[in-house]
Chains A and B, each alone.
Chain A
Amino acid sequence: MIEIEDLHKHFGAVRALDGVSLSVAAGEVVCLIGPSGSGKSTLLRCINFLEEPTSGVVRVNGKRVGWEEHDGRARRVSSAELARTRAEIGMVFQHFYLWPHMIALENVIEGLVTVKGMRVSEAAAKGRALLEKVGLTDKMETYPEHLSGGQRQRVAIARALAMDPRVMLFDEPTSSLDPELVGEVLRVMEQVAGEGMTMLVATHEMGFARKAADRVVFLDQGRILEVGTPKEIFGRPRHERTRRFLEKILV
């Protein structure tokens, strides 16, 4: 579902991504772990082209993101085409980024109405069902400002789900939450994973990775150091670097 080949992203002299290759099968849940600055966010942001990779190829559902290939020559796609590709890739941000001028329900259906051209009444039916699914039946008409972090993130997940994405990217979805609010978000993510969604999740929640991930990827300094099942990575990491990271985080 997602294929990444030799992805590089340089910010000046900094190599945020230094040759990352990874493929994620349909329905698979892959967790990205690693220290801050290891490139987890950058990798996710390159997948939907919020960040333009310096080099390398990203394919989602067989289609190259940001570029199209004609007779072996690659060309940048139009902004319309890029938008269509992004609509198929759901993204959940660390800081939620709900739109503050819209109530929760409007946040969820905005993409359906503006991007997919769905009628508001029709989109609202879908949006309300999604908010019910993430446990926010009584918060539909609340502005983000009046929601807790956990509630905001669940609205953000519903917003991404509304577009019926092929894959979902989660960029540290619980890192800015109060500890007691982490669980409600993780439960929704587990539910989404259980429904067969292809997910790529950058996270520091090792409990979630252990429980929900099919594979865990350890990133360090813009490179993939090791990939394995949660059992392998958490049970017997092969690299010293992974071991030290896990020791620090699993105290």
Chain B
Amino acid sequence: MQLDFGVAWKYLPFLLQAALMTIALTVLSQALGTIAAFFLALARMSPRAWLRRPTIAYIWVVRGTPLLLHLFFVYYAAPAFGVTLDAFPAAIIAMSASAAAYNAEIIRAGLQAVHRGQVEAAYAVGMRYGQVVRRIIVPQAVRIIIPSYMGNAISHTKNSSLASVITVPELMLTAQMIYSSTYRAIEILTVTGAIYLVLTSCLSALQMYCERLTAYEQRGLGGGRRRRLRLDEPLPTLPA
């Protein structure tokens, strides 16, 4: 068997073009899925059953069924409800829905890891629920969430290849089209795999960066924060 990576080189621009589609698909659905997941997580923890129960059911169904099925479902079932969706928006809907379910549980775990006493101390100084979430819970939860969230984002990136089945011209579908016309499966798949590896490596690097960024007690205070807090000015005296 003779390998000919010249073919892969020739088609590389097409693969890179397709990689952009993979990035768009992943980033957009992950972003939408994360925003939705945040509110799902809050609803999931709500003492109100009418908020909590549907959320639990949603997460149960979506996490318990394959993404492949969701993709087909959205793409082929939508016309039955009077809307015809292009492949790309259909994939975004299905992938966002899936990302939302997975991320909701990851975010919930992070939010719940913040000690109840932290929250009580915030209520005790007079904060309201939204302020407690924004100022006390989220900043601490983000740090806890990063590793599992980024792990899930990496899976999500790879799972975007499933969108090929509903004809979204992303990396996997493009690779298939190229090797079925050139018969150079090994070369094309190798290069395609390398591109996926670059994408997911970027996410791993981003994870390390975020972890460093949130290691607050190991970083010094930034200059802006020092100035705002007037840490370098002489001590004021309390008015009696």
What is the bound-complex CA distance between A207 and B95, given in angstroms? 64
Establish whether residues B124 and A48, one from each chain, have CB atoms under 8 Å apart when the complex forms. Answer: yes
Chain B CB count within 10 A is highest, among A114, A145, A160, for: A114
The 8 A CB mask of B111-144 against A (1 = contact, 0 = none) is 0000101101111111111010001100110010
A residues 100-147 near B (Cβ < 8 Å) are 100-101, 103, 105-106, 109-111, 114-115, 120-121, 124-126, 128-130, 132-133, 137, 140-141, 143, 145-146
* CB-defined contacts of A90 to chain B, threshold 8 Å: 124
Q: Find the B residue at minimum CB distance from A146.
A: B217
The reply on A14 being an interface residue by CB < 8 A is: no
The reply on B235 being an interface residue by CB < 8 A is: yes
* Contact status of A86 and B126, CB under 8 A, knowing A97-B115, A137-B235: yes
What is the bound-complex CA distance between A133 and B217, given in angstroms? 24
What is the bound-complex CA distance between A128 and B232, given in angstroms? 11
Establish whether residues B124 and A89, one from each chain, have CB atoms under 8 Å apart when the complex forms. Answer: yes
* CB-defined contacts of B2 to chain A, threshold 8 Å: none
The reply on A251 being an interface residue by CB < 8 A is: no
9-residue interface stretch from B45-53, B58-66, B85-93, B223-231: B223-231
* Contact status of A106 and B123, CB under 8 A, knowing A114-B131, A137-B235: no
The reply on A84 being an interface residue by CB < 8 A is: yes
B residues 186-240 near A (Cβ < 8 Å) are 216-217, 221, 226, 228-231, 235-238
Establish whether residues B127 and A93, one from each chain, have CB atoms under 8 Å apart when the complex forms. Answer: no
What is the bound-complex CA distance between A199 and B158, given in angstroms? 60
The reply on A26 being an interface residue by CB < 8 A is: no
Establish whether residues B118 and A50, one from each chain, have CB atoms under 8 Å apart when the complex forms. Answer: no
Establish whether residues A101 and B127, one from each chain, have CB atoms under 8 Å apart when the complex forms. Answer: no
Interface of B is mostly: helix
The reply on A163 being an interface residue by CB < 8 A is: yes
Establish whether residues B127 and A111, one from each chain, have CB atoms under 8 Å apart when the complex forms. Answer: yes
* CB-defined contacts of A95 to chain B, threshold 8 Å: 117
Q: Find the A residue at minimum CB distance from B120.
A: A50
What is the bound-complex CA distance between A242 and B117, given in angstroms? 31
Contact of A86 among B123, B221, B229, B238 (CB under 8 A): B123
The reply on A9 being an interface residue by CB < 8 A is: no
Establish whether residues A133 and B238, one from each chain, have CB atoms under 8 Å apart when the complex forms. Answer: yes
The reply on A91 being an interface residue by CB < 8 A is: yes
Interface of A is mostly: helix
* CB-defined contacts of B139 to chain A, threshold 8 Å: 101
* CB-defined contacts of B136 to chain A, threshold 8 Å: 99
A residues 54-92 near B (Cβ < 8 Å) are 79-80, 83-84, 86-91
* CB-defined contacts of A156 to chain B, threshold 8 Å: 121
Q: Tally chain A residues at the interface, Cβ within 8 Å.
A: 47
What is the bound-complex CA distance between A84 and B229, given in angstroms? 25
What is the bound-complex CA distance between A86 and B125, given in angstroms? 6
B111 to chain A, nearest CB (A): 14
What is the bound-complex CA distance between A141 and B140, given in angstroms? 18
* CB-defined contacts of B131 to chain A, threshold 8 Å: 114-115
Establish whether residues A129 and B231, one from each chain, have CB atoms under 8 Å apart when the complex forms. Answer: no
The reply on A215 being an interface residue by CB < 8 A is: no
Establish whether residues B217 and A159, one from each chain, have CB atoms under 8 Å apart when the complex forms. Answer: no
A residues 14-47 near B (Cβ < 8 Å) are none
What is the bound-complex CA distance between A71 and B185, given in angstroms? 82
- Additional A-B contact list (10), CB under 8 Å, known A80-B128, A86-B123, A111-B127: A93-B121, A93-B124, A97-B121, A100-B217, A106-B229, A121-B228, A125-B236, A129-B237, A132-B238, A160-B125
Q: Which residues of A contact B (CB under 8 A)?
A: 48, 50, 79-80, 83-84, 86-91, 93, 95, 97-101, 103, 105-106, 109-111, 114-115, 120-121, 124-126, 128-130, 132-133, 137, 140-141, 143, 145-146, 156, 159-160, 163
Q: Which 9 A-B pairs have the closest CB atoms?
A: A87-B126, A111-B125, A97-B121, A129-B238, A91-B124, A97-B117, A143-B217, A115-B126, A124-B229
Q: Which residues of B contact A (CB under 8 A)?
A: 115, 117-118, 120-129, 131, 135-136, 139-140, 143, 216-217, 221, 226, 228-231, 235-238
12 contacts between A and B (CB under 8 A): A86-B125, A91-B124, A93-B117, A97-B120, A98-B121, A121-B228, A124-B230, A125-B236, A129-B237, A129-B238, A132-B238, A143-B216
